[in-house]
Amino acid sequence: MSNSYTKLYLAVALLGMLSLGLSSVAKAGVFVNWMSAHKKLDCPMTCKARDMYVIMSGTDHKQDKPLSVCTTKKDKRGEWLVGYNRWQEKTCIVGIGDKAYHGDRYFCLCTTHGIQPLR
């Protein structure tokens, strides 16, 4: 895995681990929750469909579009892995070893507080 992908994966994984502790918790009127990808939409549209805002993890510099925090399993018995969802893509991408896995069944991290605007 290249250095930039390693750094991105570590940043997304850290954010995901921190956010797992906040899941479904109300803090000062702000709710954070994992939402099932709505009708195979990307994470920004999944959250928007539920009147929530997506939690972003960075920017895809090739497309100059945001990356959203998501989670998926590699198989039914596997553990949930934190990754990222690209703008208008319908997968959650996680790093496994030196490869990227694209999970088509995934959850998006959403919040009731608009901390990051959609472009």
Quick check: is 18 in a domain? yes
pLDDT tens, residue by residue, 23-71: 444 455 678 899 999 677 899 999 999 999 999 888 888 888 889 999 9
Q: CA 91 to CA 74: how far, in whole Å?
A: 12
- Residue 101 CA: distances (Å) to CA of 51, 82, 96: 29, 11, 7
**114 token code pair:** 């608009």
Number of domains in the chain: 1
At 115, the pLDDT band (50, 70, 90 cuts) reads low
Give the three-state DSSP class for 51: coil
Quick check: is 86 in a domain? yes
Give the predicted TM-score (pTM) of the model.
Answer: 0.70
Quick check: is 85 in a domain? yes
The pLDDT value given to residue 48: 92
The answer to whether the CB of 87 falls within 8 A of the CB of 65 is: yes
pLDDT tens, residue by residue, 3-31: 444 444 444 444 554 444 444 444 556 78
Could you list the residue range(s) of the whole structural domain that residue 19 is in?
3-111
Quick check: is 119 in a domain? no
